[in-house]
Amino acid sequence: MPPVSITSGVGHCSYQLNERQDYSKVIAYWPDLINAEYSEETEEYTPPLGSTSSGENVHRLPHPYNTQEEAKAAAKSKLDELNRGDASLNMTLLGNA
* SS3 letters across 28-59: EEEEECCCCEEEEEEEECCCCCCCCCCCCCEE
Backbone angles phi, psi at 82, to 5 degrees: -70, -30
Which residues, other chains included, contact 61 with Cβ-Cβ below 8 Å and sequence gap of 6+? 26, 27, 28, 29, 71, 74, 75, 78
- The predicted-structure confidence for 70-95, as pLDDT tens digits, reads as follows 999 999 999 888 877 666 777 776 66
- The predicted-structure confidence for 32-56, as pLDDT tens digits, reads as follows 999 999 999 999 887 666 555 556 7
Is 51 in contact with 24 (CB distance < 8 Å)? no
Q: How far is CA 33 from CA 18, 36, 39, 63, 66, in A?
A: 42, 5, 10, 16, 10
Residue 56: name the closest of 45, 42, 48 by CA.
45
- The predicted-structure confidence for 2-36, as pLDDT tens digits, reads as follows 666 655 556 777 776 655 567 889 999 999 999 99
For the question of whether the overall pTM of this predicted structure is more than 0.75, the answer is: no
